[in-house]
Chains A and B, each alone.
Chain A
Amino acid sequence: MLSKLALAFTILFLLFMVIPNLHAQEKYTVSGSVTSKRTGESLIGASVRVVDRNIGAISNEYGFFSITLSRGSYTIEITAVGLGKKTIEVELDKNIKLNVQLEEVDASLEEVTVIASKGRSLTSTQMGMEKLTIAETKNIPVLFGERDILKTIQLLPGIKSAGEGNSGFYVRGGAADQNLILLDEAPVYNASHLLGFFSTFNSDAIKDITVYKGGMPAQYAGRLSSVLDIKMNDGNNQDFNVSGGLGLISAKLNVEGPIQKDKSSFLISGRRTYVDAFLKLSNDTAAKNSRLYFYDLNAKVNYKLGDKDRLYLSGYFGRDKLGYDNQFGIDWGNGTGTLRWNHIFNSKLFSNTSLIFSNYDYEVSVRSDAIDFNIFSQIKDYNIKQEFQWFLNNRNSIRFGINSIYHTIRPGEVSSSENSSFGSLLLQRRYSWENGIYITNNWKATDRFNLTYGLRLTSFSILGNGDFYTLDDKGNAIDTTSYGKGTFVKTYVNPEPRIAASYQLNNSSSLKLSYVRNVQNLHLISNSTTSSPSDKWVASSNIIKPELSDQVSIGYYKNLFDNKYELTVETYYKDLQNQIDYRDGADVFTNDAIETQLLFGKGRAYGLEWLLKKTSGKFTGWLSYTLSKTERKINGINNNEWYNARQDRTHDVAIVASYALNKKWTFSANWIYYTGDAVTFPSGKYRVDEQVVYYYTERNGYRYPSYHRLDLGATLQLKKKKKFSSELVFSIFNAYGRENTYTIAFQDSETDPNKTEAVQTALFKFVPSVSYNFKF
């Protein structure tokens, strides 16, 4: 197996080597970086195009680009979303360095001609990808007026909300834990605050978001369904800036500026909710002593060491604190840190080295006279990455790298005071080591045909110390093997081929095709209708096999009406292996052998996604429609038959519109409709111990009523002074007050105790909000 893979890698390498420069002319490279003139922020995904030639490049995640051309004179045109265009003449008789600064178009110009979002590239092989800038998400009305990128992406086809007002999401039929959420490359294990109503991402600190629903590039790995790559702002290296906002539930402040102009900068951004301030007004002392808030803190510094080197240090820390008096308390949060070093070896070879730390933990405490204990649980990663981007020639660009992560999971540790009637419990800590090596080439075979092919090899080693179990077919542990510290319990090696092709049909349309395999070795065990901080991460073990997904997708892309509109149609089929669910009556809290509480099976998902987007003009927005199906088959559930996954929703529609009326007012609206979740309802009832209980015959055989709502928003730009600008943002969530199902419970009727009834709980109806944002 291993030697075969080594062979495959060798062949791939050789392939790259033998792709020759067909016509041996003198070649030179123009390379450099694209930044914003006003802020000095490097621009990701800026287009660098050689005019009148079908040659171009896109700036990478650090703003770097490289184009190799024959000797001659060229006009190079650089454009980026939301910014003006720049045209540069170059005389190429040697390698040229080009550091381009794009200017912001003055928004006070009469006609707004700025491209609000980038048109989809027809030639790029990347499919199943959506990119959003914070500017695009700015006007979309949201719950409580809290701008939230995780809620905005749910308006895109193939990405579904995990529920009313929820920042959790499902991509192409996958589960919520199958999304890799990266903040400056660091995995965020629980991206939600307060039951999922808010995400951990403070939009003030975010530069850019990219979601991959399929065809994930080989540098990403670790989750089955999607990659959400979030990049923090670097910090303005030109001027000091303070911006902030006051909303219905939270206040935000963002400070950034140069440490040394042009060379280095910093950014600090914080957000805190203040609902708990109202608790203080309560007469009840217990309520007064209660805690209910969350906060986020983002910080980043970067430093240019010279022309060729740049260092970035970024961090995130956020926490939720909930507590009632001193009786109960739960607090949880993520912390991440990333240290990166960009090095430009030469005009063609770009390197990035990252050291990454990420942590998620929660703590529950219960204090009363006799019941007095603490539960602590944690997942912690140390992660190192080395990546090279090699712009070989204008037909081939190669990316290769390695990645190594050491995971520590502390599933649950109970401690208690001496007088407590609770003892201590230490669930075994679990250690694992995940390694990846990858290489991928983007080959521009002809002017119309592009091919990206690559391979990633992932290994996952479960390390001691610890006890590992052998189960019988009923799931009972029949044997235990103890492993010593640092010993290898088991290693899973999985190749992940990634292939994508695009064929440009004509000037305005193209076809794309991709196949991707993904492997997932960390699994979230959850059985609640809402995201709970105590949902448990477990690693693959001798019994829990790596989850696998194979996805094939085909897409059609067309730019309409002079590139003002873009149409995307994608279809996919996904095969899932080693999917995990609970056994009935599972208790995952106090069990060391968690495998005894789980069942394993397979899944499948398929769908068709439409997106029609208007990207420029006064009126922008999109229309998205998804038709899809997602099912599971797990022995021990639903009589071993296929059943709908909970997130199976047949139809999913989103209309997002924004209209810039004049310099002062921008109006926006979105309307959402989807088929209700697949849920389990009783098919009968019976009596046990003198009370009525319910009888179930099938898993997820029913549906909630369909979901729909309209949100409205308006932004009023207040008087602009020289340096100071501010705005008021109004919104109404669920404007026509639809009572959407949050949950349905079954109970004895309140009016006639001899009958049973179904009771629906709906949350948020007409939630108005206003917030004030400022900048100086």
Chain B
Amino acid sequence: MQNCIYALLALTVFTMSSCEKVIDINLNNASKKYVIEGMLSDQSGSCKVLITTTRNFDEDNSFVGISGAQVTIADGTGPELSLVESSNGIYENKSITGIVGHTYNLKVIINGEQFTASSTIPEKVLFDTLFVNDEVIFGELIKLVNLRYPDPVGRGNSYRFIQYINGEKDKTIFIRNDDLNDGRIIETVLFSLNDDDDEEESKISKGDEVRIEMLCVDAAVYKYWFSLDQSALGTNESASPANPVTNITGGALGYFSAHTYQTDSLISP
């Protein structure tokens, strides 16, 4: 919602006059931090943990995986099951499949430092309709994905969507909760108000294959994506950029998300 307002206001400003240029800023270097991305869904073979570190701003974007970590996941108070490093910094255990309603505990030990997180797979909600619709946004005809799903009664359901266009992942973070529409049949439009014109890959054209993943996530994971989207993407709307609110304790960046999974695709008309 906020984004809509800002986009509208920003548009007003930029129509008045503005100019952009790349500038040099001397940014401090910070000591390296571990970044843990843990995910587990109700699909078999989905259990995966990626470990990397931060890099300085002026370095390139080759984020190297961290090897040699001890990674385990436990279903509630059940036994800790190990994840095995399948390639550099990627840890997997194909035999762990998430169960709706269960809480999973992740433990990562890297060079003696321990990080933990827990996440619960919420009730599974499935979308029943998926279609591409034409909308005119700011004078431009844009194709946008529409989804319909029934939100269960009771506030607290949270969703995350991931969009792939011809196999390319759209960088836009699509998250929804039911604060404003609890218990309704929800029709949502996945549109990104990126002010970057160069994001051609996030635009849908006729004949494109569009695939959508829908994840039902818990409140902490929703908060992670919400705060990441608001304050850590380097854009300029927030007066106080900050690291996203993580559910990992111990001082690492990243998240651990246990969620349900559904995917479907279509060819854009």
A534 near B181 (CB under 8 angstroms)? no
* A697 CA to B31 CA, complexed, in Å: 10
Surface stretch bound by B, among A69-77, A554-562, A743-751: A743-751
CB neighbours of A529 from chain B (8 A): 236-239
Expressed in whole angstroms, the minimum distance between the Cβ of B160 and any Cβ of chain A is 10
User: What residue in chain B is nearest A283 (Cβ atoms)?
Assistant: B139
**A694 and B63 within 8 A (CB):** no
> Shortest CB–CB separation between residue B255 and chain A, in angstroms?
8
Chain A residues positioned under 8 Å from B8 (CB to CB) = 322, 324, 328, 330
Contact B135 A368 (CB under 8 A): yes
List residues of A (468-521) whose CB comes within 8 Å of B's CBs.
none
Give residues of chain A (358-375) contacting chain B, Cβ–Cβ below 8 Å.
Answer: 364, 366, 368-371, 373, 375
Question: Is A590 at the interface (CB under 8 A from chain B)?
Answer: yes
**A687 contacts which chain B residues (CB < 8 A)?**
35, 52, 61, 63
The answer to whether B180 and A425 touch across the interface, beta carbons within 8 angstroms, is yes
Q: Which residues of A contact B224 (CB under 8 A)?
A: 585
Q: Closest CB-CB distance, A747 to chain B, in whole Å?
A: 6
Q: Tell whether A680 pairs with B242 under 8 Å between CB atoms, given A322-B9, A368-B135, A694-B233.
A: yes
A688 touches B35 (CB 8 A): yes
- Chain B contacts with A in 167-199, Cβ cutoff 8 A: 169, 171, 173, 179-189, 196, 198
Contact with B along A10-24 (1 / 0, CB 8 A): 000000000000000
Nearest CB in chain B: distance from A476 CB, A: 11
* B111 located at the interface, meaning its Cβ lies under 8 Å from any Cβ of chain A in the complex: no
Contact partner of B19 (CB less than 8 A), chosen from A375, A685, A699, A762, is A762
Nearest chain B residue, comparing its CB with the CB of A144 = B16
CB neighbours of A700 from chain B (8 A): 240
Q: Which segment, of B20-28, B96-104, B258-266, faces chain A? A: B20-28
B97-119, CB under 8 A of A: which get 1 and which 0? 00000000000000000000000
Q: How far is the CB of A693 from chain B (nearest CB, A)?
A: 5
Interface pair A686/B242, CB less than 8 Å apart: no
Is A691 close to B, CB under 8 A?
yes
Q: Scoring B residues 235 to 256 as 1 if CB is less than 8 Å from chain A, else 0, what string do you get? A: 1111111111100000001110
Shortest Cβ gap from A239 to chain B (Å): 39
Which chain B residues border A113 with CB–CB below 8 Å? Answer: none
Q: How far is the CB of B242 from chain A (nearest CB, A)?
A: 4
Tell me whether A694 and B241 are in contact (CB under 8 A): yes
B232 touches A693 (CB 8 A): yes
Assuming the contacts A688-B35, A759-B22, asked whether A682 and B234 have C-beta atoms less than 8 A apart, the reply is: yes
Q: Is B237 a contact partner of A681 (Cβ separation < 8 A)?
A: no
Task: For B53, give the chain A residue with the smallest CB separation.
Answer: A686
Q: A584-B245, A585-B223, A750-B198 are in contact. Are A739 and B19 (CB under 8 A)?
A: yes
The answer to whether A345 has its CB under 8 Å from any CB of chain B is no
Which residues of the other chain, A, contact B255 by a CB distance below 8 angstroms? 688
Question: Could you say which residues of chain A place their CB within 8 Å of the CB of B56?
Answer: 684-685
Is A88's CB within 8 Å of the partner chain B? no
**What is the bound-complex CA distance between A683 and B243, given in angstroms?**
11
Query: Is the CB of B77 closer than 8 A to any CB of chain A?
Result: no
- How far apart sit A288 and B239, CA to CA, in the bound complex (Å)? 33
Question: Out of A688, A697, A748, A759, which one reaches B28, CB within 8 Å?
Answer: A697
Asked if A61 is at the interface (CB within 8 A of a chain B CB), the reply is no
Please, which residues of chain A bring their CB within 8 A of the CB of B60?
754-755
Asked if A287 is an interface residue, CB under 8 A from chain B, the answer is: yes
Out of A197, A421, A582, A686, name the residue touching B186 (CB < 8 Å). Answer: A421
- A689, A750, A761: which contacts B18 (Cβ < 8 A)? A761
Q: How far is the CA of A93 from the CA of B45 in the complex (A)?
A: 105
Partner of A686, one of B54, B237, B240: B54
A699 proximity list for chain B (CB < 8 A): 240, 242
Verify if A286 is at the interface (C-beta below 8 Å from B): yes
Is A696 close to B, CB under 8 A? yes
Interface size band for A: 35 or more
Contact residues in B for A685 (Cβ distance below 8 Å): 54-57, 61
The answer for the CA separation of A700 and B18 in the assembled complex, in Å, is: 24
Q: Which residues of A contact B138 (CB under 8 A)?
A: 286, 324
User: Are A763 and B17 in contact, CB atoms less than 8 angstroms apart?
Assistant: yes
The answer, yes or no, to whether A758 is at the interface (CB within 8 Å) is yes
Q: Which of A600-649 contact B (CB under 8 A)?
A: 646
Q: How far is the CB of A289 from chain B (nearest CB, A)?
A: 11
Q: How far is the CB of A413 from chain B (nearest CB, A)?
A: 11
B203 within 8 A of A: no
For the complex, give the distance between the alpha carbons of A530 and B196 in Å: 20
Tell yes or no: B230 within 8 A of A by CB.
yes
**Chain A residues closer than 8 Å to B62, beta-carbon distance:** 754
| A744 adjacent to B55 (CB under 8 Å) | no
Bound-complex Cα distance A699 to B16 (A): 31
Smallest CB–CB gap between A727 and chain B, Å? Answer: 26
B246 to chain A, nearest CB (A): 10
The residue from B4, B19, B61, B180 contacting A761, defined by CB atoms under 8 A apart: B19
- Contact indicator per residue, chain B 205-236, by CB within 8 Å of chain A (1) or not (0): 00000000000000000011011101111111
Chain B, Cβ-Cβ closest to A677: B239
Whether A757 contacts B22 by the Cβ 8 Å rule is: yes
A582 to B4 CA separation, bound complex (whole angstroms): 21
Q: Assess whether B196 is in contact with A747, with CB atoms less than 8 Å apart.
A: yes
Looking at the complex, which one of A322, A373, A585 makes contact with B231 (CB distance below 8 Å)?
A: A585
Answer yes or no: B33 CB below 8 A from chain A CBs.
Answer: yes
For A747, the chain B residues whose CB sits under 8 A away are 196, 234-235
A762 to B14, CA, bound (A): 10
Check B238 against A421 for contact (C-beta < 8 Å): no
CA distance A364 to B180 in the complex (A): 14
Cα A702 to Cα B27 in complex, Å, equals: 8
For residue B50, which residue of chain A has the nearest CB?
A687
Q: Contacts A292-B12, A585-B227, A761-B19: A692 and B61 contacting too (C-beta < 8 A)?
A: yes
Verify if A756 is at the interface (C-beta below 8 Å from B): yes
Which of B12, B21, B135, B182 contacts A759 (CB under 8 A)? B21
Partner of B5, one of A330, A690, A691, A696: A330
Chain A residues, Cβ within 8 Å of B148: 421
Of A324, A373, A582, the most chain B CB neighbours within 10 A belong to A324
Interchain CB contact under 8 A, B254 and A763: no
Separation in Å of the B154 CB from the closest CB of chain A? 13
Partner of A530, one of B9, B11, B173, B227: B9
Chain A residues with Cβ below 8 Å from B33 are 684, 686, 695
How far, in whole Å, are A339 and B241 apart by their CA atoms in the complex?
A: 45
- Taking the nearest CB of chain A, how far is it from the CB of B238, in angstroms? 6
Chain B residues positioned under 8 Å from A526 (CB to CB): 239
A64 shortest CB reach to chain B, Å: 45
Contacts A328-B4, A425-B180 known; 17 new A-B pairs at CB < 8 A: A286-B138, A370-B187, A527-B239, A528-B238, A528-B239, A532-B5, A585-B226, A683-B29, A683-B30, A685-B56, A686-B63, A693-B233, A739-B19, A745-B236, A754-B62, A755-B61, A762-B18
17 contacts between A and B (CB under 8 A): A286-B138, A423-B183, A532-B5, A532-B9, A585-B245, A680-B242, A682-B234, A683-B27, A685-B57, A694-B241, A695-B30, A702-B25, A705-B23, A754-B60, A762-B20, A762-B21, A763-B16
B residues within 8 Å of A by Cβ?
1-2, 4-6, 8-9, 11-13, 16-25, 27-30, 32-33, 35, 37, 52-57, 60-63, 133, 135-139, 146, 148, 169, 171, 173, 179-189, 196, 198, 223-224, 226-228, 230-245, 253-255
**Shortest beta-carbon contacts, A-B, top 4:** A585-B227, A746-B234, A370-B187, A743-B236
